[in-house]
């Protein structure tokens, strides 16, 4: 399979997860787009870079795996960024 389709699948997966997060953020009464953008642009870019690298390294990557790299990576990197953000309360206490 062409690697460019896999890269598009990673981007599509990350974008799908980003839209789902956006729908959840719209429900909050103190919603601000710039805050949402600031909290999600770093994980989104890092996810695209690492998901693309994973698809290039893995010779047997399928379209489903690339889509999972996008969705799962976005979820993982958002959690990691929140864990190290001092303004977000977390259970592990790294941000104190």
**pTM for the full predicted model:** 0.81
Domain residue ranges in the chain:
3-83
Contact 66, 55 (CB under 8 A): yes
* CA pair distance 71, 15, nearest whole angstrom: 8
Which residue in 6, 7, 18 sits closest to 71, CA to CA? 18
* CA pair distance 7, 47, nearest whole angstrom: 11
Segment 18-66, tens digit of pLDDT: 999 999 889 988 889 998 898 899 999 999 999 999 888 988 889 899 9
Instruction: Retrieve residue 69's tokens.
Output: 């790299």
Segment 80-93, tens digit of pLDDT: 888 887 777 777 65
* CA pair distance 95, 25, nearest whole angstrom: 22
Q: Which residues contact 75 (CB under 8 A, 6 or more apart)?
A: 17
Q: How far is CA 61 from CA 4, 7, 37, 91, in A?
A: 12, 11, 30, 35
């Amino acid at each position: 399979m062409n690697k460019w389709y896999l890269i598009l699948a990673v981007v599509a997966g990350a974008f799908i997860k980003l839209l789902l997060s956006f729908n959840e953020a719209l429900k909050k009464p103190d919603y601000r787009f710039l805050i949402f953008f600031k909290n999600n642009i770093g994980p989104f870019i890092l996810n695209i870079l690492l998901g693309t690298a994973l698809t290039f390294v893995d010779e047997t990557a399928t379209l489903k795996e690339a889509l999972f790299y996008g969705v799962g990576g976005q979820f993982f990197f958002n959690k990691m960024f929140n864990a190290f953000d001092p303004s977000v309360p977390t259970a592990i206490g790294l941000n104190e």
